[in-house]
Amino acid sequence: MGPEQQAYARLLDVSGAVSLLVILAMLLERALALLFDYHWFQKLSEKVSGLKSPIALFVSWFTCNFVGFDVLARLFPPPSGMVEPKAIGILITAAVVAGGSAGAITLFQGVLNFNRDSRTTLIEANKARAEADLAEAKTRKEKAEADGAEAVAKKKKVEGGL
């Protein structure tokens, strides 16, 4: 596998890992909303504040540990290329997932630069490139027309001189 193919495979692996992180965060966020929005849990959390975060972290850790999901191992694989989940990576992944989809999406945007600003910049760059290409095409057309008119004038001059 050539270096370009390796880089592409690496990009797919990283974007896949971060996408899974966002999807898992959204799934757990919605699943925990069922518990957190339930009336008895709301009454309990009025009496004992700060219950949601530890519960979310535990459920996230249990899920990440069960499936062996370590986003750090995927982002920073060893030179051998064999990705093996580590306890600290699973814990950090679980903490990001427990932070909810907003935090995971922020990570997704930061790591892969998928955000509104980068899309806007790309659109503006493409627009500027298209405008430059159009201006260049107009200049070429005008030059061709001028060259054509000059050729016609030379031809008439040569024909008139005969």
pLDDT one digit per residue (tens) for the chain, 162 residues: 788 888 888 888 888 888 888 889 888 988 888 888 888 988 998 888 888 889 999 999 999 999 999 999 988 888 887 888 999 999 999 998 888 766 666 655 665 555 566 667 777 888 888 888 899 999 999 999 999 988 888 888 888 766
State how far the Cα of 83 lies from the Cα of 76, in Å rounded to an integer: 9
Q: Please, are residues 67 and 90 in contact by the beta-carbon 8 Å criterion?
A: no
Tell me the three state secondary structure of residue 95: helix
Q: Which of 104, 108, 132, 131 is nearest to 118 (CA)?
A: 108
Q: Which two three-digit tokens encode residue 134?
A: 């159009």
Report the predicted TM-score, pTM, of the whole model to 2 decimal places: 0.59
Q: List the chain domain ranges.
A: 3-113, 115-162
Q: What pLDDT is stored for residue 114 in this prediction?
A: 56
Distance (Å, whole) CA 135 – CA 33: 55
